[in-house]
Chain A
Amino acid sequence: MLSANIVLFTALAYVALLFLVAFVSDVRSRKGWLGLVHSPLVYTLSISVYCTSWTFYGAVGSAARSGLEFATIYLGPTLVFVGWWFLLRKLVRIGRIHRTSSIGDLISSRYGKSTSLAVLVTLIAVIGTTPYIALQLKAVTASFQVVAEATGTSLLGIPTRDIDIRTGFWVAAGMAVFTILFGTRNIDANEHHHGVVAAIALEALVKLVALLAVGLYVVFWIAGGVPEVFRLPAAATVLQGSETFGARWVALTFLSATAIVCLPRQFQITVVENADENHLRTAGWLFPLYLFLISLFTLPIAIVGLATLPPGSNPDMFVLTLPMLHDQSALALLVFIGGFSSATSMVIVASIALSIMVSNHIVMPIALRLPRRSAGVSGDVKTLLLVSRRISIGVILLLGFAYFVASAQSDALASMGLIAFAGVAQFLPSLIGGLYWYQASKAGAFVGLLGGVLVWGYTLLLPSFEGGSVIPASLFQEGPWGIADLRPQALFGTEGVDPLVHSLVWSLGINVALFVLVSLVRDQKPLERLQATLFIDVFRNPADNEARFIRRSAAIDDLYILAQRILGTDQAYRLFRDFARQQGSRDSLPQPDTEFIAHLERQLAGGIGAASARVMVSQVITGETISLDELMRLVDETQQVIEYSQQLEHKSQELQITARQLREANERLRALDAQKDDFLSQVSHEVRTPMASIRSFSEILLSGDDLTSEQSKRFLGIIHNETLRLTRLLDEILDLSHLERGELNWSLRPIDASAVLARAVETCQGMAAGVTVEVRNDAGSVEVLGHSDRLAQVFINLISNAIKHNTGADPRLSIHSTIIDGRFVVDVQDNGPGIDPADRERIFSKFSRAWSTDRPSTTGAGLGLAISRAILRRMNGTLDLLPATGQGACFRVTLPLRQNADQSPRAAAEG
């Protein structure tokens, strides 16, 4: 059993340790030794400030009550860190370049450094965070009482006495002291608080170790192993206890994903305290791993708690009461310290973030509006800021404490975490729109934010006070003034929906709708447009670009006084000297040109926020023009880049198509090339054969003295014939090549095809000695489009083939012309040996001879049919070998009729 004194002593010792760590880290970093503090590990651990006491104690409670629903709280951030990494990277880059000091500063700066927007965001943040701080105070107080008064009833997790308000007060006061000490030492241009971050990282480790320790103890000590845990009857109750993946599930995941970006303390840690963009890379996997580890034992603890603790025990305290039940005082103490850690780290970071926002966005603007008391003393603004921040921290913690006292006896706090999440989720549209949508305007952001927050307050915050005395219950049951459509949890008849889902859909819906509509309607001011471009294109436009658009001049003395007032003498001197060196001046004062003023304003913005920095700098500026031309050009450039990239995409698609076409063309060319090789090899063969005869006989003639004159004559005759054959061959090759390339030196004109056929038959009479030629014309005079000599060439080729290759005893040849389906058809049929079926198509290719009895020297080179077919194709006709009928071969020529007139059939034997 632990006495209150031991618990108190341990807690104080732990706090002292935190002070020490923070102090040492602060001193070391001030001396430039960043070491461990400046590491991705510490960065990631500090992000886990996300896991507050609400998660530490409440996750088990949530699991005991609603089963797996608790997982959504871890799922959302995991999704963001794994999947939306690029959004975080953009935020961090913008935060670094524009010296963003808070989420309010970022939103205000994006929308033209608007003061009103900054004030609105700050108020929402305070409203959303105060109850959250109260929740932490309550958790610490309650857990202290439970652990320190370990009596029979305290094992239920319900303190015997009423909540001890004094404990709460001292906790709040202690945190205020710590935060003031380490959170407001200086107004660093980058708002880095190394001491605080180091302490937070240590606390992150402590809470993880505590949860893992109690988890291991519960699973392996109390339950006896993982399977045993899930065999407990309570396991079924827990696992079946909730509607998983329903609307509430989606809403919770979405909310927690939003919270990891929009919660002021998360923004403070993730963006403002970020020292190196690359740390985000590590956090991208390490933080989800942290979340996984910290949620690992949630379910088992809930199950074992339900199974072993007396009925009526508070599930929110299972983490603490389970070890106490088994008299594990040391473990219980560790758990208490872990919960204490998660509460304090949240309160510290949240109050730092809020104090910066309050001092920069509320106190500064008011101070700037007050009539100036004096000419301004060195560091007076700095002092004002630090003092106002310290007071803000005190006030914020006081507010949280007050809220804690007011609601100490109610259970309203339990749902406070989610209500806060839904509140800060209202930042999301303005934030995302500001980062990706050029047209998003200040008016749109303001109206959307305001509308969303009002709806959130009405539908979610207000009902959380239900049952108190301030708000009449009739409001919830009957609606204001009895208007049922305006009931806070059933707007416009949306009844029966989970209150959280209901509120989220309505508030964010109205927020987005107003944001988009007003942005579309209201034009941006030049400064808004400039900031929009600088933010959205942050990876392309360094902040120095600002100098291109805003031309300002000021007296260097005024600027120096201003810088001294805000930064203090030393820092101002260093800033001016460094810039002067950068300008190449030996003087310690730089030229007060546009660039320097922009640089100075950014540095000041790091301390007092963009809006206030702009107002203060403007007070000493003697001339300012925003160059609209330059601004338009910037917007144009952006537009152009978008167009270029679209064109580029288009071009690359075209290129792909062209490449494919080229590949296809290349394949065709390769095929053609192979054909050409074949062709050349054939030509070579066809030329060499007659050449061989010519050479051989020439040599005989040259060498032989003993030749008779008859022999000489015969050999000369052969030589002569072979030269003619060669000539014919070359002519045919040229002819075919012309035909194939479509180079026609003849044109198509109306001709009488029957007359051409008759002429061809007549020409062949000479060689047809001994062959019976039968001609039948059923077509009459036929007009086709063609060339009479060429058509005659085709017919002569067919007829002479039929005569030459017909080696039968009684060679016969039948030529029959007719008209079928509007086409002139000529069949040339012989009774020769016919053509082998395997050669049916080959005979139409070049250099083919299909007749087994062929005597090459008596024929052409085997190009005749190829040429004939090419000629007919030019006349839109065809040449085919009809299927074998058993006797001889039959070639068919068809040609389209020019017109269908004069078809009177006329049988006649011609020639």
Chain B
Amino acid sequence: MSARVLIAEDEPNLVESLSFILSREGCEVSAVFDGESVLERLRTERPDVLVLDVMLPRRTGFEVLKLIKTDPGLSAIPVMVLTAKGQERDRRTAEDLGADAFVTKPFSNQDVVDRIKRLAGG
């Protein structure tokens, strides 16, 4: 699998671990550290999967998700929402906004890999 994965996450350590496990599976990984940068990046390139943290500086993950899913040009990109809050309310918000997968921190590496594979394959 050689899916292109964009990671939007402000925790450098998590970016590093996610990049590591996804690269190990053969993905092409790139990362941005805030909400605004996600949208900028999407204008120039189109990843197969977007891993999106909720608590991002400069635009939260939910705002970004909403913009992507309401933009006809972008809405097809599968989005996996990542959050540390883990509350049922957040999960529902993510689903309402059209998230394709929802993972809470701390996550299982295998779980993340499986989901991304599935999203990239579909």
A-side interface residues toward B, CB under 8 Å? Answer: 681, 684-686, 688-689, 691-697, 699-700, 703-704, 718, 721-722, 849, 852, 854-857
Question: 13 pairs across A/B with beta carbons < 8 Å?
Answer: A684-B84, A686-B84, A691-B106, A696-B18, A704-B24, A721-B13, A852-B57, A852-B58, A854-B10, A854-B57, A855-B10, A857-B11, A857-B13
Which residues in window 71-100 of B have CB below 8 A to A?
84-87
Verify B57–A691 contact, CB threshold 8 A.
no
Verify B106–A688 contact, CB threshold 8 A.
yes
A397 to chain B, nearest CB (A): 97
Give the number of chain B interface residues (Cβ < 8 Å).
Answer: 26
User: A852: which B residues are within 8 A, CB to CB?
Assistant: 34, 57-58
Q: How far is the CA of A691 from the CA of B84 in the complex (A)?
A: 9
Interface centre among A692, A693, A852 (most CB of B within 10 A): A692
Which residues in window 1-30 of B have CB below 8 A to A?
10-14, 16-18, 20-21, 24
Q: How far is the CA of A685 from the CA of B87 in the complex (A)?
A: 10
- From B12, B34, B57, contact of A857 by CB (8 A): B12
User: B10: which A residues are within 8 A, CB to CB?
Assistant: 854-856
A807 to chain B, nearest CB (A): 13
Residue of B nearest to A719 (CB): B13
Q: How far is the CA of A721 from the CA of B24 in the complex (A)?
A: 24
Verify A681–B11 contact, CB threshold 8 A.
no
Residue of B nearest to A699 (CB): B109
- From B17, B21, B55, contact of A693 by CB (8 A): B17
User: B20: which A residues are within 8 A, CB to CB?
Assistant: 700
User: A857: which B residues are within 8 A, CB to CB?
Assistant: 11-13
Q: How far is the CA of A849 from the CA of B10 in the complex (A)?
A: 12
Interface centre among B10, B20, B105 (most CB of A within 10 A): B105
B55 to chain A, nearest CB (A): 7
Verify A691–B21 contact, CB threshold 8 A.
no
A429 to chain B, nearest CB (A): 77
B10 to chain A, nearest CB (A): 7
User: A684: which B residues are within 8 A, CB to CB?
Assistant: 84-86
Verify A693–B109 contact, CB threshold 8 A.
no
Q: How far is the CA of A852 from the CA of B57 in the complex (A)?
A: 6
Q: How far is the CA of A41 from the CA of B91 in the complex (A)?
A: 77
Q: How far is the CA of A850 from the CA of B49 in the complex (A)?
A: 30
Verify B105–A688 contact, CB threshold 8 A.
yes
Verify A700–B109 contact, CB threshold 8 A.
yes
Given A681-B87, A688-B84, A852-B58, are A695 and B106 neighbors across the interface (CB < 8 Å)? Answer: yes
Given A684-B85, A857-B11, are A689 and B58 neighbors across the interface (CB < 8 Å)? Answer: no
User: B107: which A residues are within 8 A, CB to CB?
Assistant: 692, 695-696
B44 at interface by CB-CB < 8 Å? no
Verify B11–A685 contact, CB threshold 8 A.
no
Given A718-B16, A856-B11, are A685 and B106 neighbors across the interface (CB < 8 Å)? Answer: no
Q: How far is the CA of A857 from the CA of B17 in the complex (A)?
A: 14
Q: How far is the CA of A184 from the CA of B39 in the complex (A)?
A: 113
Q: How far is the CA of A722 from the CA of B12 in the complex (A)?
A: 12
User: A718: which B residues are within 8 A, CB to CB?
Assistant: 13, 16
Verify B109–A692 contact, CB threshold 8 A.
no
- From A681, A688, A699, contact of B104 by CB (8 A): A688
Q: Which 7 A-B pairs have the closest CB atoms?
A: A692-B105, A696-B17, A695-B106, A688-B84, A692-B106, A693-B13, A691-B106
Residue of B nearest to A682 (CB): B85
User: B18: which A residues are within 8 A, CB to CB?
Assistant: 696
Q: How far is the CA of A694 from the CA of B85 in the complex (A)?
A: 17
Verify A692–B87 contact, CB threshold 8 A.
no
Interface centre among B10, B13, B104 (most CB of A within 10 A): B13
Given A718-B16, A855-B12, A857-B12, are A696 and B109 neighbors across the interface (CB < 8 Å)? Answer: yes
Which residues in window 24-61 of B have CB below 8 A to A?
24, 34, 55, 57-58
B25 to chain A, nearest CB (A): 12
User: A685: which B residues are within 8 A, CB to CB?
Assistant: 55, 84-85
B58 to chain A, nearest CB (A): 6
Further pairs besides A692-B84, A854-B10: 19, Cβ < 8 Å: A684-B86, A688-B105, A689-B105, A692-B11, A692-B107, A693-B11, A693-B14, A694-B106, A695-B107, A696-B21, A696-B106, A697-B13, A700-B20, A700-B109, A704-B24, A718-B16, A852-B57, A854-B57, A856-B10
User: A856: which B residues are within 8 A, CB to CB?
Assistant: 10-11
User: B13: which A residues are within 8 A, CB to CB?
Assistant: 693, 697, 718, 721-722, 857
B22 to chain A, nearest CB (A): 11
User: B106: which A residues are within 8 A, CB to CB?
Assistant: 688, 691-696
Verify A700–B85 contact, CB threshold 8 A.
no
Residue of B nearest to A855 (CB): B12
User: B14: which A residues are within 8 A, CB to CB?
Assistant: 689, 692-693, 696
User: A695: which B residues are within 8 A, CB to CB?
Assistant: 106-108
User: B108: which A residues are within 8 A, CB to CB?
Assistant: 695, 699
Q: How far is the CA of A830 from the CA of B20 in the complex (A)?
A: 37
Verify B17–A700 contact, CB threshold 8 A.
yes
A717 to chain B, nearest CB (A): 10
Residue of A nearest to B15 (CB): A693
Q: How far is the CA of A695 from the CA of B10 in the complex (A)?
A: 17
Q: How far is the CA of A692 from the CA of B109 in the complex (A)?
A: 10
Q: How far is the CA of A688 from the CA of B109 in the complex (A)?
A: 15
User: B85: which A residues are within 8 A, CB to CB?
Assistant: 681, 684-685, 688
Q: How far is the CA of A229 from the CA of B10 in the complex (A)?
A: 98
Q: How far is the CA of A664 from the CA of B58 in the complex (A)?
A: 39
Q: How far is the CA of A692 from the CA of B105 in the complex (A)?
A: 5
Residue of A nearest to B33 (CB): A855
User: A691: which B residues are within 8 A, CB to CB?
Assistant: 105-106
Interface centre among B10, B14, B108 (most CB of A within 10 A): B14
User: A849: which B residues are within 8 A, CB to CB?
Assistant: 57
User: A855: which B residues are within 8 A, CB to CB?
Assistant: 10, 12
Q: How far is the CA of A182 from the CA of B94 in the complex (A)?
A: 98
Residue of A nearest to B57 (CB): A852
Interface centre among A681, A689, A703, A849 (most CB of B within 10 A): A689
User: A696: which B residues are within 8 A, CB to CB?
Assistant: 14, 17-18, 21, 106-107, 109
Residue of A nearest to B36 (CB): A852
Residue of B nearest to A718 (CB): B13
A103 to chain B, nearest CB (A): 80
